Every structure is written in structure tokens, then in C-alpha cells.
Chain A
Amino acid sequence: MDFLRPASWEEALAAKAEHPTAVPIAGGTDVMVEINFDHRRPEYLLDLNRIGELSEWEVGEESVRLGASVPYTRIMENLRGELPGLALASHTVASPQIRNRGGVGGNLGTASPAGDAHPALLAAGAEVEVESVRGSRLIPIDEFYTGVKRNALAADELIRAVHIKKADGPQQYSKVGTRNAMVIAVCAFGLALHPETRTVRTGIGSAAPTPVRAKAAEEFLSAALEEGGFWDNGKIITPSVAKQFADLCSAACNPIDDVRGTASYRRHAVGIMARRTLTWTWESYRGTAASTEGVA
């Protein structure tokens, strides 16, 4: 095993080009577990900790450019306003120690369906900025996840940042685990209202081979809101609409039975989370219920 320590982004790209099998390590919260437990012996470890810019973010007009290594703790503390869904998701990540090290770049690189950030990114709308010595490109989040623990990165590419749309409406995030802290998702759900475009976006984690959106549910709900004039009249969403949205979210799942939960439970739980997060975000949109925002 070789340990590569690039001092700059350019050096990192060069190293990755020279050693495409090199495994990038930033927070180490995935890679080191695999090394400690002898599940993985990469030829090269490519340390990204010395590249300071990866831990920085910029808030722009439309979006936030979030460096790949910005720790979850920073997102929780500093980007609650711009990225409420991702901030909530960040707060569900493992433990304070892990949140101090891990970042969204790691979630994306590993591309595990259980990664906590994915549903929030899918719901908010995002593009992944990846780069190689060949050049830079933006991959829409909807095209980023290509299979179980597989993503759209080429072998020589590294994740530099994520461009996430700034919230133009309420966002929520919910995750089921069998413990009240420090737990990997049995399944997770992200929801973002986009009043400017009068659309709704979702993200589902751990309930399909990749993180997915419940597109049929989104379309149904967007249409129902439009039809009923909800965006303007701010009425309470009718239970039948909420139920159908929830059912369509469940139907978007393609889960498996595993040691963390059954497929049947995952479908069920995604439906419940869909209904609840819809209620919370909608109540928040209506501006009536202060009790809908958790302190998470």
C-alpha cells in the first residue's frame, strides 16, 4: 500500500490520473473501517485532507457550492438556512465524532444507498462537480447514482464539490434506524417544496439499489397542489392527497430484506415518513405551525 499526500488539488488530480485505482480518503469514516476490518486493501490511499479548499463552501445567488470535505458538523451549524434538508440529514449522520470528519463527498464517492446525504441532495436538486486532469464536469444528481455502491465517476476523476440549490421553500428529512442515535439508515426520506417552480422533489435512501426520487409521487403532488390552488390559498393538504402521495412514495421503493430491516417494513416506513414530512413542510409553508420544525 502506498500513501499519496497531494498538497494541492492539481497534485491530487495528477495522482489520480497516474494511479486510477487510488482510493481517495478524506474523513476516513468509510475507508478506514474497511481497512481496519480487512475488507479492503487498496494499492494506493489518496489523502485529500491537505487540500484546504475542499473544506470550504461558497453561498451563491442560486446555489451553494459545498466543498466535498466540508464536515457534516459545519453544514449543520452554518448552512441551515440555505440547505435545511441537508442540514437535517447531516444531523442524523452517525455521531458527533463522525460528523466532525465526514462530508458529502465521501457519501457520494461511496454511493451506498444508505448514505444519509443522498435523499436531501435529490430533494433539493444538486449537481456534483467532478474533475480529472482531462477537465471538469457537472453531473446532475439524478444521473450520479448508477448502481449499488456505484456512481458516474470515471476512474481518474475526483469529487471536488457539490452545487446544491438554495432552498426556496421548506425542506424536511427523516431517517429510520433501530436506535435513537448513531445508526445506519434502515430507510430515509427527504422532501423539498419548491414554491418558486411550484414543484415538489423527493429523495429516498436505503430502499432501492440506489438512492432514488419518487417521481410519480412528486408529479402527483405537484399536480394536486396546483389543481387545488394550494400554493396560493395555503389550505391544509387533504388527508387523501397526503395518503396517495405516501402510497406513491412507498411504490417508488425497490427494497430488499436484510439484517437491518425487511423490504416490507421499508416500503411501509417510507410511506409514513413521506406523509409526515409533507405535513411538516406544508405546515411550515403555510407559516402557521411553529411546532413543525424539530430541533434536530
Chain B
Amino acid sequence: MGTTGTPTNITQGSKTKGGIGESTLRPDGTLKVTGEFAYSSDMWHEDMLWGQILRSTVAHAEIVSIDTSEALAQPGVYAVMTYDDLPTEVKNYGLEIQDTPVLAHGKVRHHGEPVAIVAADHPETARRAAAKIKVEYKELPVITDEASATAPDAILIHEGRDDHHIGHVPHPNIVHRQPIIRGNVEEAAKKADFIVKGEYTFGMQDQAFLGPESGLAVPSEDGGVELYIATQWLHSDLKQIAPVLGLPEDKVRMTLSGVGGAFGGREDLSMQIHACLLALRTGKPVKIVYNRFESFFGHVHRHPAKLSYEHGATKDGKLTHLKARIVLDGGAYASASPAVVGNASSLGAGPYVVDNVDIEAIALYTNNPPCGAMRGFGAVQACFAYEAQMDKLADAVGMDRVAFRQLNAMEQGTIMPTGQAVDSPAPVAELLRRVKAMPLPPEQQWLAAGEAADVRQLPGGLSNTTHGEGVVRGVGYAVGIKNVGFSEGFDDYSTAKVRMEVVGGEPVATVHTAMAEVGQGGVTVHAQIARTELGVTHVTIHPADTQVGSAGSTSASRQTYVTGGAVKNSCELVREKVLELGRRKFGTYHPAWATAELLLEGGKVVTDGGEVLADLADVLEGEAVEVEAEWRHRPTEPFDLRTGQGFGHVQYTFAAHRAVVEVDTELGLVKVIELACAQDVGKALNPLSVIGQIQGGTTQGLGVAVMEEIIVDPKTAKVRNPSFTDYLIPTILDTPTIPVDVLELADDHAPYGLRGIGEAPTLSSTPAVLAAIRNATGLELNRTPVRPEHLTGTA
């Protein structure tokens, strides 16, 4: 095994209560259980107006005319704005490619695209006014898949593209293409004793965060605007918002409001610019809150994908080669499609040693809903395919499915298909061993309760569809690999401002970052880091805003690594200054100030020998020490556009799952009985939060295995199920027990040895559930989510 690595030697502050490694409780917990925590939809202001967005009713059309006169004439309506009312020449936005119109111009490219916005004194007034805006469309044919997108006569979704990907894509309706080529697939295939091919389909998943897109924009006296918003990345929003408003960035002051979940769906802008435009136009505060229906149109989704895989193996079970093609549907606008392509291709081989690889991943422009970031993006779709392949290969070779994976598992030192050597622990085989070693749940638990079957424990649940008839158990395994942080040469950094001072006789640290707390618990961890590094008990977490430098996005499993790293770094700089202050004030009283290794612990300055030199309160008396500093992880480099070679990822993260399901094989209903997970987290800064992330990610993977899918009509490209009635996410009765085995093998490149953890559990959960259903039913099941129709031959 290549699982070397030791926990980073943490000496500083290890005696301070509430430091890293403890399951300290959330600083926002009390506000969240009392209902006082202010989410973006809770914002309120005297005299505020309500904003409403009018969205396109068709997916692809030229806009012939827009008539707002009747809407404007409604009593209570303060403003109606269309493209023509945009104040500057900057009329588009976008994360990487600015291809998304603030308001539709000339044509609409997907169902639900914003066409006009209204501000009125009551949400109903705004809705009625929006309904009175007359938009005349001339419908165009819809592009909905690869064939229609790349047909010779295909309408271009975006004409006149000038982004930096246009030079290397085979067709203007392809956003980005990334091949990964290593070794010689043709030659290797000749040495394979077994070749397994598969065509896989991954459905469109929605983040379905519970807090809808919302916020409040307040015009300020200096002509600027204050925006209270739920987002994943304040500074990225700011860079996209300010130019459209025609304001310098310092006049758009953004404060993070409470965020009701994100999961990638808040990486792109939603109502931010619209609220600001209306506030500046009317001179009044404007609140916008989507309802659930609108939310399904208001953010990007997970890319649906078609994946073609061919693997080979020798008769002793060694992988010979992989040939794969991954087609991701990016929908009408680019969003995070390029990064999704990068992940899907570079991680397309999974956590396995394969020397001969030929992978191609592309993202399409279509008239389907725009797709972008969602937990595990790119890596999730690939994992579904390669894990199905692993089971088929193991069966072909005649090996145990877990043993086959372990035989081919990558480890520290493995060269990735990108040529990158894995330079920290990669305990893939060990995670599989651990998850397999967990005890299996007892059979037929529904009988355990008594003599009557407890339908709550059976497929179909409360709907009373079976009392055991047709129910078959299955077990499946899967493991996945995800990159942590922003890859491919992106300058991925964060900023932390840390201040130390005496308040009420006690030393207090204040941590100020722009990190979006979306529920993941970053605020908890920042306080822990400050306690550990500064030896204080009291830490105040300053609200996140744009008055401090960028923290980067709360995505890509990166915040604890990068902003955690920035907080640690700034704390270290503060500590040096505090010790300097101590030496200046008290150095003459004790020689150890000059000679010993000094630590801050338990509110005191102590020597490494444990001798107390001073109270921090005395050192800081009358002084405040403050540092704001950027911190970045080691640089990565872009993948070569022809071969995909390059040091593209800063860190990898791994999880393995074992799913136990019971399937009603006659009705095609599934009950997941247990979803066990083993994950390497490097170092668990907060074990309780770590487990919460793993269980939550696991459950989102379960959702897309058996129920979650946005259904788009292929004839019209219209969304058919934009509601929680027909887009189903798991309830507590659909979610099994999720035992978690946490492994801590330090990555010496990362702060405290930690590993980003948020996404990995979402990857392997889905294929594990699928494998278990295949195990129960004997069906091939090459698409997810599995619907009852697929299990009963009635699709």
C-alpha cells in the first residue's frame, strides 16, 4: 500500500480548548434554531419594493417585440426594464465566458430565460404587471443533443464567439473540448483478454437547495448600491455585477446573507444584477425572492451526460487500456462548462492505474437549461460510468468486484492519465477494504418490528405497495476520485484578515474573510483554527463581505483548504506580531523571550517547555494586532489542449461506498437500506462537520440514483417538472443509515494535512446504489436515475 503520510506536527495551541480536531459546535447554531438567522429571503427594509422577473415561455426564439406599456401603467408599479434599459455597454455576464445576457436581447436561448424585470409595491402587483408585458416570439428550431448541435446546418447558439475556447473546438456549438491521451490505446487493446464496452446516460440533477434565490439591493447616497445576498463567491459576483451597473467595484458593497444551501447552484449569478438595476432605477430598496417554480429556472443544473466507455483487462485482472468519450450538455450558456469538461476528462479513468488512455470530453451548447457547477461536477458523471465498467470487467475476468478494484487501485506515486504523479496518500484499496469490512445490516428488517410487515422499512414505504412480495436484496460497491480546489492553472487563493485585541479583559481574535458560509461549517472551522493558532478562547467571526479580499468560491471542496489555509497563515503572521509585541514589552524580564520557541496557548505566551511568560491580555493591553493577507495553494498548470498532459490538480480526494438496497422487482421500487462510506479526509478539523458533509453528499448521490431528474421535453426543450411535486429529492424515509469510517492520512502539501471533503461522497454514492440494484435485479441499467420503468421493462 502506498498510504504513507503522517499527521502534520501540530504544536501550536494544541492545549487550547475548541481548537482544530474537536467537534466544536456551529457559531451560528443558536440563531439557526431560534429562527433569528437572517437568510437572504428574510431581508426587509422600510419602503422596499418587490422585484419580479418575466421569463421566456419558449426555449429558442427571436424576440420580435416587447411591449411594456401596459405593465408600466399599473398602479403600484415603479419600474419595468428590458435589455434596452441596461445602463452600460456591458450587458452580459458569466463565470468564465461572458455569454449570458442580463436580459434577453434579440433572442432567447432556453426556457425560462429572463426577458424583463419589474419593481412594484407588492409581489402580487409585480406578478400581475409582469404578466401584462407583451413579448412576441418567433420560434426557432431547438437544439437538444449532440447530433442537432453539430449538424452541418445547425443554428449557432452563440454567433460570433470570441472566447478563448473557440480556437480549439470542432464546432461553435461546442463550448470546450479536452482530450487526455497517454500511452497507446490501440496497442494495449491487443493485449487485453477481455474488452468491456458500455454506453451510459446521466440525467440532469438539480442542486435543490432549500433557500430560494433571493436578496435585497439598497441604493446608497453615493450612487452605489448595497447588496445583501446568498452566493458562493462574493467577489466573483462583484466582478460580474459592477460593470453591468456601470459602477466601480467599491460602490457595489456586498454582504453575505444567510445562505440556504448552495451545492454549486449559487456559483453563477441569479437575481443579483436585476435587484441592483431596479434599486438604482427606482431609488428604493428592492427585494427579489424566487419561488420554487422559478428557482428551477433561476440556476444552472448538473450537466446531463452521455458516456461511451471501453476498458480492457488481462486475464489476471490488470487494466490494459481505457477509451472513453464524454458528452456533457451545457445548455444555452457556458457557466462552468469548461471546468466540468476538465474534470470529466482528467478524472475520467477514475482512481485506477491505467497506462493507456484515450479520453475525450466535450460540453455542448444547446437550448436545454444551462448547466454548470454542482457538487462533484464532471467527476460525478464519469464515476457513474467507470464504476459500472469495473463491475462488468470484474465479472468478465471472474474476479470479486472489490478485489478487482483493489488490484487496479491507484496509490501514492501513481501517474495519472494527465502525467501528474500523485504525491500524497491515495488509499483507494484501503477505503474499499474498510467499507467492505463494515457489518452488513440484518436481512428483512421490516419483519423485525413484529409480526406485521412494517411498510416504512420496505420499498414503497408508506404507500403500502409490498409486505415483502417481490423484494430482493442487492449489494454494490463503488469508489471515486475528485480534485480539490480550482485546477488547470487557475490562481486559486483566499484572503483572511485576523485581528487580535483585548475586549473586556480577555484576548479576543476576530476573523474576517469573504468566505460564503453556505452551511458547510467554514465559520466553525475558522474559529477553531484561530483558537489553535492564537491560543485564545474567544473568536468572533466577522460577517463575510467585500470589505476584505476575495476568498474564492465555496465550491470544489476547497474552502477549508484554501480559506482555512488563509486563516491559518494570517493567524501565524498575527502570532509573530504578538510575540514581537511581547518581546518589546516584557523581553527584558525573562531570557526565554529571546531564546525559547514560544507558543500561544490558553490565553498565555508559553515556552515550548511549558513555562508561562505572560498573559496575552497583558501583551495586547492597549494594542490591536491585525493582518490581512492572501494565501494560495501551490500552483497548477493547464492541461495541454491536444494531449491533456499537465500538473492540473493540486489535490485529490477519495471516498468509497457500499450500498445495500432492497428492490421490489415487480413494481420497480427501491429502498436503500444502508449506504456505508469510507473516506480519507487527511485531517478532520471538525469530525462532526466532516461526518455531516459525508452523509449529506452521500444522500445527494442517492437522490440522483433513484429519483432526481429534471425532465426536458426533447421536442421543445421545455422543462416539464419545475416543482418539488415532480422533482423529487430524498425524504427521511428514503434515506438510510449512513455509517461513516473516516481515515486521516495527511497530505503534507495541505494545511494541517487536510483534504477537501465535500464532494467525494457524492461521486461514489450513485454508482454504488446502481450496482446494488443491478445486483438485486440482474439488469444492466446504464442510466441514472433508475426509474421504476427501467426495472420493470415498461419504459
Contacts and interface: CB of A to CB of B under 8 A. Distances in A.
B733 interface: yes
Given A176-B669, A179-B730, A294 B452 contact: yes
A295 B788 contact: no
A91 B467 contact: no
A79 to B, nearest CB: 17
Contact of A291 (B291, B451, B725): B451
A45 to B, nearest CB: 14
Interface string A144-181: 00000000000000000000000000001111111111
Contact of B127 (A38, A259, A265, A279): A38
Contact of A262 (B452, B454, B728, B794): B794
A174 B465 CA distance: 5
Contacts, number: 125
A280 interface: yes
A183 B467 contact: no
A161 to B, nearest CB: 26
A181 B452 contact: no
Contacts of A292: 467
Interface string B447-467: 001011111100111111111
Interface string A94-118: 0000000000000000000000000
A19 interface: no
A37 B293 contact: yes
Contacts of B721: 259
A100 to B, nearest CB: 15
Interface string A172-202: 1111111111111110000000000000000
A268 B730 CA distance: 25
A240 interface: no
B720 interface: yes
A291 B788 contact: no
Contacts of A210: none
Given A291-B452, A295-B456, A268 B734 contact: no
Interface in B283-297: 291, 293
Nearest to A269: B667
Given A176-B667, A179-B730, A183-B728, A280 B463 contact: no
Given A265-B788, A294-B467, A181 B461 contact: yes
A174 B464 contact: yes
A180 B460 contact: yes
B96 interface: no
B732 to A, nearest CB: 8
B708 to A, nearest CB: 10
Given A269-B667, A294-B455, A92 B788 contact: no
- Categorize the interface residue count of chain A: 35 or more
A174 B463 CA distance: 6
A91 B466 CA distance: 15
Most central of A88, A268, A292 by chain B CB within 10 Å: A268
Interface in B636-686: 666-669, 671
A265 B790 CA distance: 9
Contacts of A259: 711, 720-721, 726
A176 B460 contact: yes
Given A181-B461, A269-B788, A260 B453 contact: no
B667 A280 contact: no
Contacts of B462: 91-92, 180-181, 296
A191 to B, nearest CB: 12
Contacts of B451: 290-291
Contacts of B466: 276
Nearest to B294: A37
B464 A88 contact: yes
B469 interface: yes
Contact of B452 (A91, A92, A272, A293): A293
B795 interface: yes
Interface in B96-138: 127, 131
Contacts of A28: none
Given A36-B291, A38-B127, A296 B792 contact: no
A177 B469 CA distance: 17
A182 B467 contact: no
A43 B795 CA distance: 42
B789 interface: yes
Contacts of A184: 725-726
A259 B449 CA distance: 36
A64 interface: no
B34 interface: no
Interface of A: 36-38, 88, 91-92, 172-186, 259-262, 264-265, 267-269, 272-273, 276, 279-280, 290-296
18 contacts: A36-B291, A176-B460, A176-B463, A176-B465, A179-B461, A179-B707, A180-B671, A181-B461, A181-B733, A261-B789, A262-B794, A264-B795, A265-B792, A272-B470, A276-B466, A293-B452, A295-B456, A296-B455
